[in-house]
Amino acid sequence: MKLYNTLTREKEEFVPVNEGEVKMYSCGPTVYNYFHIGNARPFIIFDTLRKYFEYKGYKVKFVQNFTDIDDKMIENANGQGIDVKKLADKFINEYFTDAEGLGIEAADVHPKATETIGDIIRFVKKLVEKGFAYEASGDVYFNTSKLDRYGKLSGQNLEELEAGARVDVGEKKKNPADFTLWKAQKPGEPAWDSPWGKGRPGWHIECSVMANKYLGETIDIHSGGQDLIFPHHENEIAQSESANGKPFARYWLHNGFLNVDNQKMSKSLGNFFTVRDISKHFDYEVIRFFMLTAHYRSPINFSSDQLQQAKNGLDRIYNFLDNLNYLKDNTQDREFLENEKAVLKTIGDLKNKFLAAMDDDINTADAVASIFEMVRQGNTKLSGSSSKKMVIQIEKTVKELCGVLNIAQKQSSSKLDDEVEALIEKRQQARKDKNYKLADEIRDQLKSMDIELQDTPQGVKWKKV
Ligand code: AMP
Ligand code: ZN
């Protein structure tokens, strides 16, 4: 499997530190709001990569943090007159609601900055002791002049970085490119005790510390959006490699940006959308599918037309699965004919194409195209006179590949209809038999399938909620 490594600017064969295992760290959200459609891109893409590794038999350990203390957290909490923890707790919960909707599996660990303070302090102390960091009036800075290769990820040298660096009022840096590891407390800010007085961690340090704590000194994959290459990931490399004296991450993966109507998304342009807003108009699953229709490194344009197209594409797959379901009950139980063997060979080739696309730097766009081609083949080649075995085999392949991408996972509608009708009938019978316990149990089972029942004079009606 090949992955594009930002560090070397090449597609490289993926070779993990330990055979058969993958240690992945992805930068998570700052939890002061619902996450927006741009944030959804790395969450969906790197979840898909994780699932693909698992499909290939790797044991994956995946860590994604929550930044629950920083300037934006403090500003937003103050604006709402609540404390930072309350704001963070709310939006961590909301993160999980949206992520689950989008089919993103929870990471193995979701560490929070505020719960990692002791480890962060120890890490910063180590950097100070090794001479890579210095304290100035309660702040601690990383000394970029101590490194030979600061800038290797973003491909810049120290002079260029220094020329572009900004020194804020009140900062006491030795070199313009130095960055904060620990910030002294300002009045009214949450703070923790440290050897440098009360303060809080800078942003970059939390990811170095969490990756080290949960995955070890050298990890396989570190990922995030392209905007994080500099300074965030550059600084993570500086911190981790200086503290441990070992390479930090072997592969650096960065997703391209999502624009809205071909413009950068921003609140002031009025084109800022949270996933929660969009989920009121389109199924979460459509949003996931939309993200996977593009290659993760290309920029992607978001608009309601694009989402509508994604919905149409997903519906096509669902309709196909519905048809297969129907054909399973309405085809003959017999061996394959010669022409059917040829169809199955085409389906097999398309599965290989899907896998080759995923192996080529997770090219989900081409992988999705292979699924569509299977649907097209199936629609033209299958009929009531096909062999049942062939229908079953095609269904198995399409479902397996949709499973890798975690799309089209809802039960197909006709199958759901049959199942719900059967349960409702069973419940009616239980009520006739005065077995109210069983009737209630069935109602609960339907509820867990998101089916709502209504007793009407015309009988029991149901709907999916
Ligand atoms: P943040 O909460 O801003 O730190 O962002 C969380 C993740 O979303 C990071 O990996 C960012 O790089 C990524 N991200 C933010 N905006 C966009 C965007 N418009 N397109 C793609 N990725 C983004
Ligand atoms: Zn990070």
Averaged pLDDT for residues 140-160: 91
Pick from 36, 39, 73, 269 the residue to mutate for probing ligand 1's pocket: most ligand atoms within 8 Å of its CB: 39
Distances (CA, A) of 463 to 211, 283, 417: 45, 16, 10
Instruction: Look at domain 2-130+207-255 and name its CATH class.
Output: alpha beta
Confidence of residue 159 (pLDDT cuts 50, 70, 90): confident
Task: For residue 237, give the ligand nearest its CA.
Answer: 2
pLDDT exceeds cutoff 70 at 378: yes
Averaged pLDDT for residues 61-77: 97
Which of the 8 DSSP states describes residue 113? G
Instruction: Look at domain 306-405 and name its CATH class.
Output: mainly alpha
Averaged pLDDT for residues 134-142: 97
Please tell me the total number of residues recorded for the chain in this structure.
465
pLDDT exceeds cutoff 80 at 188: yes
Among residues 245, 246, 243, 277, the alpha carbon closest in space to that of 260 is found at 277
pLDDT exceeds cutoff 90 at 375: yes
CA 101 / ligand 1 centre spacing (Å): 19
Among residues 113, 115, 107, 128, the alpha carbon closest in space to that of 32 is found at 113
Cα–Cα distance for residue pair 55/147, rounded to 1 Å = 40
Task: For residue 232, give the ligand nearest its CA.
Answer: 2
Among residues 165, 173, 240, 245, the alpha carbon closest in space to that of 208 is found at 240
Could you tell me what percent of the chain has a pLDDT over 90?
83
Pick from 71, 227, 272 the residue to mutate for probing ligand 1's pocket: most ligand atoms within 8 Å of its CB: 227
Cα–Cα distance for residue pair 444/41, rounded to 1 Å = 35
pLDDT exceeds cutoff 90 at 401: yes
Q: Which residue has the higher pLDDT, 48 or 412?
A: 48
Asked if 205 and 120 touch (Cβ cutoff 8 Å), the reply is: yes
Taking the CA atoms of residue 104, residue 108, residue 33 and residue 171 in that order, the dihedral angle to the nearest 10 degrees is: -140
pLDDT exceeds cutoff 80 at 416: no
In the prediction, which pLDDT does 444 show?
87
CA 445 / ligand 1 centre spacing (Å): 39
CA 345 / ligand 1 centre spacing (Å): 42
Contacts of 349 (CB under 8 A, 6+ apart): none
Per-residue burial over 14-42, b = 16 or more CB atoms within 10 Å of its CB, e = otherwise: bebeeeeebbbbbbbbbbbbbbbbbbbbb
Terminal alpha carbon distance of the chain: 41
- Could you tell me the residue ranges of all domains in the chain? 2-130+207-255, 306-405, 418-464
In the prediction, which pLDDT does 88 show?
98
CA 326 / ligand 1 centre spacing (Å): 43
CA 215 / ligand 1 centre spacing (Å): 22
In the prediction, which pLDDT does 415 show?
61
1-46 pLDDT, tens digit each: 999 999 999 999 999 999 999 999 999 999 999 999 999 999 999 9
Atom number in ligand 1 closest to CA 228: 12
The residue nearest atom 8 of ligand 1, judged by CA position, is 39
Confidence of residue 389 (pLDDT cuts 50, 70, 90): very high
pLDDT exceeds cutoff 90 at 275: yes
Which residues have CB under 6 Å of ligand 1? 27, 29-30, 38-39, 41-42, 224-225, 227-228, 255, 257-258, 265
CA 381 / ligand 1 centre spacing (Å): 43
Q: Which residue has the higher pLDDT, 458 or 392?
A: 392
pLDDT exceeds cutoff 80 at 461: no
Confidence of residue 462 (pLDDT cuts 50, 70, 90): confident
Among residues 339, 353, 343, the alpha carbon closest in space to that of 393 is found at 343
In the prediction, which pLDDT does 422 show?
87
Cα–Cα distance for residue pair 395/324, rounded to 1 Å = 7
Confidence of residue 164 (pLDDT cuts 50, 70, 90): confident
pLDDT exceeds cutoff 90 at 169: no
311-354 pLDDT, tens digit each: 999 999 999 999 999 999 999 999 999 999 999 999 999 999 99
Confidence of residue 458 (pLDDT cuts 50, 70, 90): low
Averaged pLDDT for residues 370-382: 97
The model carries a pTM of 0.90
Q: Computed from CA positions of residues 297, 303, 305, 307, in that sequence, does the dihedral angle turn out positive or negative?
A: positive
In the prediction, which pLDDT does 52 show?
98
Asked if 55 and 61 touch (Cβ cutoff 8 Å), the reply is: no
Which of the 8 DSSP states describes residue 147? -
pLDDT exceeds cutoff 90 at 63: yes
Averaged pLDDT for residues 441-458: 82
Could you tell me what percent of the chain has a pLDDT over 70?
99
pLDDT exceeds cutoff 80 at 145: yes
Asked if 391 and 379 touch (Cβ cutoff 8 Å), the reply is: no
In the prediction, which pLDDT does 412 show?
64
Cα–Cα distance for residue pair 118/413, rounded to 1 Å = 52
Query: For the packed helices 203-215 and 117-129, what is the interaxial angle rounded to 10 degrees?
Result: 100
The residue nearest atom 9 of ligand 1, judged by CA position, is 225
